[in-house]
Each structure stands twice: as C-alpha cells, then as structure tokens.
Amino acid sequence: MTYANKISKDETRVDWTKPGVEVHNKIRGLSPYPGAWFEALLGGKAERIKVLRSVLVPGKGEPGQLLDANLTVACGSQAVRLTQVQRSGKKPVGGADFLRGFPLGKGTQFE
C-alpha cells in the first residue's frame, strides 16, 4: 500500500494547452469528484464550470477557444467536446444545453 496526497484545487483546473488526450483523461479521472473545472465569463463575471464528461474530437484553434455550438474546446493538439458540465449550485447539463442558457459565441476563450 502507498499513500497518495490529497488532490488540491490547483491540480483539478483544466489546462487547455495540454494535448486533447491528456485533457480528456484528466476529466475522466477526476469525475465526478473532485471534478475538473475551468473558468468562463458568464454575464460579465468569471464563473467556475465543472466538467463531468468529455469526448475527444478532431479540431484546431487556440487552446481554450470555443470551436462550435456543441461546446467543443480546442486544446494544444486536437480538441475535446464537453458533453456534461455543471455550474456551481446547479444540476449537471449537456454541453449544448449549457450553451442554450449562456449563448457564448464561437471563438470565446476559456481559462
């Protein structure tokens, strides 16, 4: 048996500059708890969004850039489609449903 240190909040933040495979695996490994997260400007205010599920897809763009209306985000190489996300204090929703509630345009930059 070996001891594993507690995962800190800094380690759970999504780093969009990493390859898509690493981002996808991080999301899978941290779901549902403690959960991977990123920040998005919603209503002019930065809000933490927890990512529960993702799919690896082809795509190009600046790391962290929203590529389409299906919540596909560019990574260092390839892209990930965020299929289930959760706002603080809210229920989990699908990526496309999330964008219907918060119309973020193509090219929006996530941190």
Give the model confidence (pLDDT) of 47-59 as tens digits: 899 999 999 999 9
pLDDT of residue 106: 83
pLDDT tens figures, 78-107: 999 999 999 988 999 998 888 888 878 887
- The residues, any chain, with a CB within 8 Å of residue 98's CB and separated by 6 or more, are 49, 71, 82, 85, 87
Structure tokens at 57: 């897809």
Sign of CA dihedral 100, 104, 106, 109: negative
The arithmetic mean of pLDDT across residues 1-8, rounded, is 85
Strands (E) located in 1-111: 36-42, 45-57, 72-74, 79-87, 93-94
Residue 108 has pLDDT above 80, yes or no: yes
pLDDT of residue 51: 95
Element (H, E) at 28: helix 20-30
